[in-house]
Amino acid sequence: MRTQVAIIGAGPSGLLLGQLLHKAGIDAVIIERQSGDYVLGRIRAGVLEQVTTDLLDEVGVGQRMHKEGMVHGGFDMLFKGERHRIDMNRLTGGKNVMVYGQTEVTRDLMDARQAAGLVTIYEAGNVSVHDFNTKRPRVTYEKDGQTHEIECEFIAGCDGFHGVCRASVPEGAITEYEKVYPFGWLGVLAETPPVHHELIYVNSTRGFALCSQRSSTRSRYYLQVPLTDKVEAWSDDAFWNELRLRLDAGGREKLVTGPSIEKSIAPLRSFVAEPMRFGRMFLAGDAAHIVPPTGAKGLNLAASDVKYLSGALIEFYADKSEAGIDSYSGRCLRRIWRAERFSWWFTSLMHHFPENGPIGQKLQDAELDYIVNSEAGARSVAENYVGLPLDFGD
């Protein structure tokens, strides 16, 4: 098989890249090691920045998002038992975020790709990338007992943190930066109405909590827990009881509980790999960077990577110019490090760090007090939360 671009990974970043290239008339094949049902079964974040919603509209898959998604113009920060609203809409000149689950984004992109008759190869085993430092890269994989090869001109590594693309880069050609946090998020999805119409970020001496939602009837809640905790040790009743202890009186009164339909513990890390281009292979999304979920940046950073990459490839084929390809890594990394900084800062601000002692909690309280009582402090949080524009600082 021959194609112009081989995309490794059929998550939202790979699918979005495929749609952007298809719209520009560039042929791309997507190779995914899991089944389509498995990809759709991943429970992930659901806060979309304007950049991401604009991209989904650009490729023609935004209709259901606008119909079913929830526009949020602010969020609450709860500390010392009191709630304070960050009015993002006012502080950023009218910008908002969209709450729409990553699973739904993936479904919309999958449906669009299928409707267009584009090639996606699921359940591809032993995927390998070859010759990406030449002008004739190749991808091999196994399926139905046979080995297959795809000849291409570029490879896009949208295959996640544990994917084959970054792992195939020669030793010494890449630098990795990583911070692993000493706690995880215990998440519960429940068919219950949300405790609040917007998100609530909770700083508590018992640990961080987040009250989120996927719809007016489906809630998503998180608790900070030690990495040593096992999800099996947390009954639904234990989860709801602990969440009540971290909420304020108003939250406890409005909290509706019920059986969980999904429960998991996710570790938190900050991770960046530099550079993101290796000859004719590019990394995008989780293959190149991970952020703590506190700032809701993971999917949005992947979307901006894909926008930069699609633009670079379109420029290459339309204008025979390699300028966008040459600047891809540096341009992405500028935006990535800004988001990494915000996610690290927000995580450090909202979570409980017992090793920091009482002074650590006092310093967090003082910074939170500054943020909610300072126009400049609140605006900085709001500006970063809604997402910096793609051309910020260019």
- pLDDT tens profile 221-268: 999 999 999 999 999 999 999 999 999 999 999 999 999 999 999 999
Q: Which of 95, 196, 263, 297 is catalytic?
A: 297
Is position 122 annotated as part of the catalytic site? no
Q: Is residue 111 part of a domain?
A: yes
Give the pLDDT confidence score for residue 394 in this predicted structure: 62
Note whether 258 and 278 are within 8 A (CB).
no
Is position 297 annotated as part of the catalytic site? yes
What is the rounded distance in angstroms from the CA atom of residue 74 to the CA atom of residue 96?
A: 7
Q: Is residue 369 part of a domain?
A: no
What is the rounded distance in angstroms from the CA atom of residue 156 to the CA atom of residue 159?
A: 9
Q: Is residue 313 part of a domain?
A: yes
Q: Is residue 153 part of a domain?
A: yes
Q: Is residue 257 part of a domain?
A: no
C-alpha distances in Å from residue 39, one per residue of 22, 48, 268, 322 = 21, 19, 21, 33
Per-residue pLDDT tens digits for 165-196: 999 999 899 999 999 999 999 999 999 999 99
Burial of 23 (0-12, 13-18, 19+ CB in 10 A): middle
Residue 44 pLDDT greater than 80, yes or no = no
What is the rounded distance in angstroms from the CA atom of residue 1 to the CA atom of residue 186?
A: 44
Q: State the pLDDT confidence band at 334, using cuts at 50, 70 and 90.
A: very high
Q: Is residue 106 part of a domain?
A: yes
Q: Is residue 124 part of a domain?
A: yes
Q: Which of 141, 181, 221, 385 is catalytic?
A: 385
How many other β-carbons are positioned within 10 Å of the β-carbon of residue 102? 20
CATH number at residue 19: 3.50.50.60
Amino acid at 293: P
Is position 201 annotated as part of the catalytic site? yes
Give the pLDDT confidence score for residue 131 in this predicted structure: 97
Give the pLDDT confidence score for residue 393 in this predicted structure: 60
Q: How many domains does the chain have?
A: 1
Compute the mean pLDDT over every residue in the chain, rounded to the nearest whole number. Answer: 95
Across-strand partners of 219? Answer: 190, 213
Give the pLDDT confidence score for residue 46 in this predicted structure: 84
Note whether 3 and 149 are within 8 A (CB).
no
Domain encompassing residue 29: 5-69+99-177+268-351
Give the pLDDT confidence score for residue 43 in this predicted structure: 65
Q: Which of 141, 222, 293, 351 is catalytic?
A: 293
Q: Is residue 304 part of a domain?
A: yes
Query: What's the pTM value of the predicted model, to 2 decimals?
Result: 0.94
Q: Which of 141, 201, 221, 222 is catalytic?
A: 201
Mean pLDDT value across residues 274-284:
98
Specify the 3-state DSSP secondary structure of 224: strand
Locate 4 and state its tokens. 């112009």
What is the rounded distance in angstroms from the CA atom of residue 118 to the CA atom of residue 140?
A: 19
Q: Which of 72, 196, 263, 351 is catalytic?
A: 72
Locate 267 and state its tokens. 């570790």
